């Protein structure tokens, strides 16, 4: 059943939504400032993407951040400290977070306004990725902190960077600057920060000018491989991440 923007425009604490001419801009934040990652935005965005997917008045989606970062602030409590009941929630929401992202059947543009060090795959999974000069990309929460990189990053980064560079990226905690990300194909454009959102809208307007079903089905066609890979490997990766984290709990024995 389709829904309307009014049904979810003010529903989510960590996302500001605005739409003009079928172009929906999603600006992630925490209390109007840079997004602070944690269980709340993890839940928020997993449900938000499902609502966006069900709203047929959305023709293109722009995903961007607030202030100086896209998503760079680590939660105070790391996943290694989560107990079984919390990991069950992470497992469930983690699957929906990325599968609902891919279930959005209109083109998505990521406008990466600053460092994307946590869940950078939310940007990279978009169809067009542009970045501000000061942006950077990293998988900071996982292997650098003793956690299995299994919540989808193990699917996305080897696909985007190539198997060898992707595994290097995950296992070394490599941080790519915006320019380095451009050189290796993670992003397609690097622009001054003050031009970033305007450039994303320019690209969105070019897309939305095409016939509606062409626009929608183009996204469906080009994400099919990603959806298949994610369906096969995301739940397995999350389970391995949880198993690895369980071994790090106080009192756990190897």
Consecutive H or E run containing 142: none
Give the span between the Cα atoms of 17 and 19, in whole angstroms.
7
Strands 108-112 and 128-132: parallel
Q: Counting beta carbons within 10 angstroms of the beta carbon of residue 165, is it exposed (0 to 12), middle (13 to 18) or buried (19 or more)? A: middle
Question: Residue 5 belongs to what H/E stretch?
Answer: helix 5-8
DSSP single-letter state for residue 59: -
Determine whether 121 is an active site residue: yes
Q: Which two tokens stand for residue 198?
A: 């305007």
**Which one is catalytic: 43, 93, 121, 241?**
121
CA dihedral 159, 118, 253, 83 (to 10 degrees): -120
Q: Tokens 């760079």, residue?
A: 72
Q: Identify each DSSP E strand in the chain by its residue range.
A: 15-20, 23-28, 60-64, 108-112, 115-116, 128-132, 136-137, 176-177, 189-191
* Number of CB atoms found within 10 A of residue 117's CB: 22
User: Is 241 in a helix, a strand, or coil?
Assistant: helix
- The residues annotated with a catalytic role in the active site are 121
């Amino acid at each position: 059943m389709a829904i309307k923007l009014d049904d979810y425009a003010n529903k989510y604490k960590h996302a500001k939504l605005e739409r003009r001419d079928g172009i929906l801009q999603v600006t992630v934040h925490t209390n109007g400032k840079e997004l602070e990652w944690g269980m709340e935005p993890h839940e928020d965005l997993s449900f938000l993407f499902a609502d966006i997917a069900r709203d047929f008045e959305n023709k293109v989606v722009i995903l961007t951040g607030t202030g100086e970062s896209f998503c760079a602030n680590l939660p105070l409590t790391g996943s290694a400290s989560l107990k079984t009941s919390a990991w069950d929630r992470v497992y469930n929401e983690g699957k929906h977070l990325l599968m609902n992202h891919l279930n959005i059947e209109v083109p998505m543009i990521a406008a990466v306004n600053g460092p994307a060090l946590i869940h950078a795959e939310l940007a990279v999974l978009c169809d067009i990725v542009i970045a501000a000069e000061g942006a950077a990309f990293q998988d900071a929460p996982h292997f650098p902190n003793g956690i299995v990189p299994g919540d989808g990053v193990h699917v996305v980064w080897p696909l985007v960077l190539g198997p060898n560079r992707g595994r290097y990226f995950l296992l070394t905690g490599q941080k790519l600057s915006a320019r380095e990300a451009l050189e290796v194909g993670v992003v397609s454009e690097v622009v001054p920060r003050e031009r970033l959102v305007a450039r994303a809208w320019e690209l969105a307007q070019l897309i939305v000018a095409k016939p509606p079903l062409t626009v929608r089905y183009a996204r469906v066609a080009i994400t099919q491989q990603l959806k298949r890979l994610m369906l096969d490997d995301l739940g397995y990766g999350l389970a391995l991440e949880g198993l690895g984290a369980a071994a790090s709990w106080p009192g756990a024995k190897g």
